[in-house]
Amino acid sequence: MVYEWFQHIEFKNSWVLPFLLLLPVIAWIWLRSGSSLKAAFTVSSSSAFTARSNRNYYFHLPFLLRLLSIAAILLAIARPQIRNEQIKAEGEGIAIILCIDVSGSMLSQDFSPNRLAVAKEVAADFVRSRPVDQIGLVLFAGESFTQFPISTDREGLLAQINSLKSGMLQDGTLIGEGLATSVQRLSGVESKSKVVVLLTDGREEAPDTRIINPAAALNIAIAKGVKVYAIGMGSENAVAVSETKGRVFDKNTAFIDEALLRRIGAQTGGDYFRATNKESLQNIYEQIDRLEKSDYQVTTKVQYSEQFGVFIVAALLLLLLELFLRYIFLRTFP
């Protein structure tokens, strides 16, 4: 706790600190010359002075306490402060939904350690780079789910992104329902621009329970004026593995429906990107970041909290302890 406190300390009068180096020198000189400064007298025998008591072991302690009190006073004069920096971003942001595939194939290891882990890391970096935007999180696999409602709460959103794992939803890939849920979350939001960043590594797998197909979801997005940036995730020679269904797709199988994703991107005014490794995925998010700029200003306010009082109190306590040892416990007088 004390170590962490010192890590945040800054000294305004730092020119005082070099004087602390003199204290070890003074201590060394005092210890070397201490015996020569004492009064001496001649006796016929020293046997009566050989007995030692516990007080003898504390003889140098008052002087050392005084040096420590001087050190505390010097630190107080150096004006220790804790810097408190408050950053506030103000402006007009964009409403964004991150729509992420969490199906079993996202555990494929053509991205290290796997696709989902890399998708989470890069998405979190994207969130941190958008200080004033309203951002939400929608998941989809064999069903879709709003994991985090659209909000400016960055810490809450980052915690939810970090908690993502495959198997949270029924396995499968329902791109249409993921897109439709994302558009629905944006429909009631007032913003100059509404964007969905849709990331998937698969193609539509339609069970009997499917409610909305990709074509219907695309029409809804167009009608609501929602722009979609679609990302297909998977290396060129990937072998996609579905953990929950126990299936392995041959690397020559086109498991990403690029035609659908291109159509979604083009018809909504967005774009389609293919991420074949972590670096390309980072570049894609950077491109989206440049394409969808928010108008905002960042104001930084710095406050300093004075901490010299701690050292003044320490100096007084050390001086009181020295006086107690010198005049009461050791009973020495000048």
pLDDT digit string, tens, across residues 217-260: 999 999 999 999 999 998 877 655 544 444 544 443 457 899 99
Mean pLDDT to the nearest integer, 124-133: 89
Calculate what percentage of the chain has a pLDDT beyond 70.
Answer: 78
Q: Where residue 100 falls among pLDDT bands split at 50, 70, 90?
A: very high
- Look at the block and give the residue holding tokens 């072991």: 57
- Mean pLDDT, rounded, for 83-112: 82
pLDDT the model gives residue 131: 81
pLDDT digits (tens, 9 = 90+) for 263-304: 999 999 999 999 999 999 999 999 998 888 766 555 667 777
Residue 226 tokens read as: 């929602």
Tell me, what amino acid is at 119?
Answer: A
Can you give 231-274 as a three-state secondary structure string? EEECCCCCCCEECCCCEECCCCCCCCCHHHHHHHHHHCCCEEEE
- Report helix, strand or coil for 31: helix
36-42 mean pLDDT: 54
Look up residue 128 and give its amino acid: R
- DSSP code of 10? E
pLDDT score for 81: 85
Instruction: Output DSSP code: residue 172.
Output: S
Side chain identity at residue 248, one-letter code: V
Sign of CA dihedral 12, 15, 20, 21: positive
In order of 12, 27, 65, 81, the CA distances from 305 in angstroms are 11, 33, 28, 5
Would you state the structure tokens that stand for residue 129, as one six-digit string? 């780079």
- Enumerate the β-bridge partners of residue 100: 139, 199
Per residue in 141-170, pLDDT (tens digit) is 888 999 999 988 989 999 999 999 988 888
Taking CA 218 as the corner, what is the angle to CA 295 and CA 152, rounded to the nearest 5 degrees? Answer: 30
Residue 250: predicted pLDDT: 44
pLDDT for the residue 275: 94
pLDDT tens track for 303-316: 778 888 888 888 89
3-class DSSP state for residue 106? helix
Q: Assign 3-state DSSP to the chain and report helix, strand, coil percentages, each to 5.
A: 45, 20, 35
User: Of 251, 245, 240, 253, which is closest to residue 200 (Cα–Cα)?
Assistant: 240
Structure tokens at 249: 């797709």
Question: Domains along the chain?
Answer: 1-29+59-84+306-328 (no CATH), 94-293 (3.40.50.410)
Residue 325 is given by DSSP the state I
How many whole angstroms separate alpha carbon 172 and alpha carbon 205?
6
Question: Quick check: 113 pLDDT over 80?
Answer: yes
Give the pair of three-digit tokens for residue 179.
Answer: 């897109």
Please classify residue 289 by burial: count the beta carbons closer than 10 Å to its beta carbon, then call 0-12 exposed, 13-18 middle and 19+ buried: middle
Alpha-carbon distance 214 to 232, whole Å?
Answer: 15
Whether the full predicted model's pTM is greater than 0.85, yes or no, is no
